[in-house]
Copies of this chain bind each other. A is one copy, B any other.
Amino acid sequence: MEIIGEKINGTRKRVAQAIAEKDVEFIQDLARRQAEAGSAWLDVNAGTHPQQEPDDLVWLIETVQAVVDTPLCLDSANPQALAIAIKAVNKTPMINSISGEPQRLEGILPLVAEHDCRVIALAMDEKKISADSEARVAVVHKVMAATRAAGIPDEHIYVDPLAMTLSTNIQSGLIFFDTLRAVHAAYPEVHFTVGLSNISFGLPARSYLNRAFLTLALQAGLDSAILDPLDQELQAALLAAELLLGRDRHCLNYTRAYRAGVFNKSNGRG
């Protein structure tokens, strides 16, 4: 399971303030803590106006890279910002994201191909997200035709089947699992990721839903997620699910994490 740390995101108010004030320490602290918590990638999203975005993204990249060597996930829908940002990274990045939208495909795919990047592909078209699993799979077929035509290997694609909130459609989880399984059957080399917490938007006690969703999605084949790596209860749920699914030899990761204090004792008690 590759964790993409979600916290350096300018659409969050406190991060936006840090970007505006060029608060190096705040950003570097988020970077360090997420890296130490085992993130395979750190998402960086400037969340600013298109004109300001390239400068802010480069500042974020340089600020983060000064303290951690975790590869970055460049989070922008703006090809111009990405083209500039990609020159500032030390390690080959992931790009977040393409979709079935032709403009995004045309603008971003050449960058992905040229720099041999990983890329997140959203199962949506022209900003429309279907509530129908087959329609989402059809979008993925379109995207995969384009990535293959651009010479991008399937194993560099991280398909996001898209988690919509359960509060407006209780089928949202099932649509996600069905889409994931169908795409996996068609493209066995492709990876899967998801912005985990969308599933619980608008509902109370969200973290319980996020944990159950992660558990069930792992069984369906999710092998990456954009989440808060500092959420210990989510980490604990992930470790438990991996063990239940037969992926933790000799229970080593689980028992090591226990000794490291990942499990809150008041809840972890038998």
Q: Which residues of A contact B (CB under 8 A)?
A: 166-167, 170-171, 173-174, 197, 199-200, 203-209, 211-213, 215-216, 219, 233, 236-237, 239-241, 243-251, 254-255, 258, 263, 267-270
Q: A173-B243, A208-B268, A211-B240 are in contact. List 14 more A-B contacts (CB 8 A).
A: A166-B243, A170-B251, A174-B245, A197-B270, A204-B254, A205-B236, A205-B254, A206-B269, A208-B237, A209-B240, A211-B237, A212-B215, A212-B243, A216-B245
Cβ B166 vs Cβ A204 within 8 A = no
A213 to B215, CA, bound (A): 9
CB distance from A75 to the nearest CB of B (A): 21
B residues less than 8 Å from A248 (CB atoms) = 170
B residues less than 8 Å from A243 (CB atoms) = 166, 170, 173, 209, 212
Instruction: Pick the residue among B174, B205, B209, B270 that contacts A206 (CB under 8 A).
Output: B270
B residues less than 8 Å from A268 (CB atoms) = 204-208
Copy number in the complex reads: 2
B residues less than 8 Å from A207 (CB atoms) = 267-270
A199 to B199, CA, bound (A): 28
Classify the interface of chain A: helix, strand, loop or mixed.
helix
Cβ B246 vs Cβ A171 within 8 A = yes
A203 to B248, CA, bound (A): 13
A43 to B166, CA, bound (A): 35
- A166, A211, A215, A240 — most chain B CB neighbours (10 Å): A240
A170 to B203, CA, bound (A): 34
A233 to B207, CA, bound (A): 12
Report 13 cross-chain contacts, Cβ distance below 8 Å, ordered by A residue.
A166-B251, A167-B251, A173-B246, A174-B245, A200-B270, A204-B255, A204-B263, A205-B258, A206-B268, A208-B237, A211-B237, A212-B241, A215-B241
